[in-house]
Structure 1
């Protein structure tokens, strides 16, 4: 994109300059305004506008930390193009250490939003109108929800050549084909004709330095690939491509113990876990139904029958 004049949220950012802007969320009961900080850095040369987004769900701390580290290490200051960082998108959820908005809605299920809808929907609408039109590419950082921990993986639509290329250079251990979920940010950005890839790593309300490092390095790789930074893309290992996946569910209720590690490859009939009752009367073993990679793991000590316990690959290469 040629950015002879780049204006965001009513502020012009000149080449080689930066700005800290604010996207207003709502008025509080105390009459104070709640605003989301938007950190913009523009290179001296023309180039793409990249949005780095964290904290769409307020309890997903790793995503916030990844964007924070990108800013702290000044990776967000490109040689070419513009980088927009929103470390904490769902400020309400982040302050309350919860996933949802105060109205109980999942912010990532109300896009593109409405100016007359719920609080979450109104905020989504502001983003869709005031931020999204000015970006060329989006990296969205997430973690597993509740007690589910995700081994670092990048998600995109494999049928979209641009998204697939961006996901490949990101360099996460796993790449997962993921369709666009209705009313999600991904779907909205895709419908606007812009590529978006989503990084998953770790679990809610936990910081994982390895996950954070992979997220930061992945973002830097994407920026190098887009010629926003100088240097070669550095990929430590080729990503495992997961074309289809499923969740294995607990066959019984009880104390859940995993016998394998997250990120591990297992063969068919390998003992991967067990469920027992707290009184020592029964113990049920769980075996791998087929050869697969495990890239999502339920870390809860107790599970109910039908709970998702292992996210595994069905088709991979």
Structure 2
């Protein structure tokens, strides 16, 4: 089994942008959105103007075929190029990692199991990356994943595509395009990829109002930093069916555990990717604190 890597070279100098879809085999929006973008470029709806555009629409074909997140190793939690290929994803990593090593920018397209709004995840430690993330024109932005988990630059566990790419100086973002079951997530993936390429002047579009349909200006964009993960415990019941990036107030009750114990929100913020299928020991949902966009290093 092989993976398809599409490369477009502009005739003018410019940055290199990598677009990834289907790192997780059961998240189809990236594959479908990028396949549509490839078709539109090939039909010259959009012209490759400068730089290099590399598109891998289906990063994990075998996982896609069996509708699983991954086969042997989650490449968005443990990505590194192994010296010896012993597992299926090892072969994939040795294709994907060298591509990321030479990339200037990365957009990795995903979806999630819960209902709720799309969001862009970025590092928060680099001004160029933050500006790139905001140029995608989404409403919801999240950062602080690496810091919350205490991940060092030497770690490979909890290292996904963006963490790996940043080690080589790449400005990398993840776009969670919506629910796995939401047909619109494919369109969101397409728009995110298209806007990234247009922002970097890699693609030159005709006048197309469709790419503006969900643009939020900077005054409308909202940002949050990860502060807590709620782990599923025996008897834990949410007070309502939360959705992704749902706003919560400080001291708002989120879950009951028993007649005398509950979990309250410690800050104004948002519920991130709640899981109705979580079992004991799994992450039930994440809480992110509402904050301003970071300038350089993390701020409160």
TM-score range, shorter chain: 0.7 to 0.9
Match of residue 92 from structure 2: 123
Deviation at 1:150, TM superposition (A): 6.5
Deviation at 1:55, TM superposition (A): 1.0
Tell me the distance in 2 between the aligned counterparts of 1:133 and 1:272: 42
Match of residue 43 from structure 1: 10
Match of residue 193 from structure 2: 219
User: Quick check: 1:291 aligned with 2:268?
Assistant: yes
Deviation at 1:260, TM superposition (A): 4.3
Match of residue 161 from structure 1: 127
TM-aligned CA distance change 1:247 to 1:69, over 3 Å: farther
Aligned with 1:268 (options 250, 267, 284) = 250
Deviation at 1:224, TM superposition (A): 2.3
TM-aligned CA distance change 1:114 to 1:77, over 3 Å: farther
Tell me the distance in 2 between the aligned counterparts of 1:296 and 1:213: 20
User: Quick check: 1:90 aligned with 2:67?
Assistant: no
Q: What are the superposed Cα offsets for residues 141-179 of structure 1, whole Å, 9 maximum, x if unpaired?
A: 1223xx455741111211112211111111222211245
Show structure 2 runs of 5+ residues with no match: 293-300
Name the SS of the counterpart of 2:118 in structure 1. Answer: strand
Match of residue 69 from structure 1: 36
Deviation at 1:289, TM superposition (A): 4.2
Instruction: Give yes or no for contact 1:42–1:77 (8 Å, CA) kept in 2.
Output: no
Match of residue 298 from structure 2: none
Deviation at 1:275, TM superposition (A): 7.5
Tell me the distance in 1 between the aligned counterparts of 2:284 and 2:102: 40
Q: What are the superposed Cα offsets for residues 37-61 of structure 1, whole Å, 9 maximum, x if unpaired?
A: 1122333433222111011111122
TM-aligned CA distance change 1:283 to 1:69, over 3 Å: farther
Q: TM-score when scaled to structure 2?
A: 0.75
Alignment coverage as a number of residue pairs:
270
Moved more, 247-256 or 164-173: 247-256
RMSD, matched Cα? 3.2
Structure (1 or 2) with the larger CA radius of gyration:
1
Deviation at 1:284, TM superposition (A): 8.5
Q: How does 1:2-17 map to 2 (within 5 A)?
A: none
Tell me the distance in 2 between the aligned counterparts of 1:72 and 1:155: 27
Match of residue 6 from structure 1: none
Aligned with 1:114 (options 73, 76, 82) = 82
Greater RCO, 1 or 2 (C-alpha within 8 Å, sep 6+): 2
Q: What are the superposed Cα offsets for residues 258-301 of structure 1, whole Å, 9 maximum, x if unpaired?
A: 3444332122344556679xxxxx8997654432222322233x
Show structure 1 runs of 5+ residues with no match: 1-33, 277-281
Deviation at 1:124, TM superposition (A): 1.1
Q: TM-score when scaled to structure 1?
A: 0.72
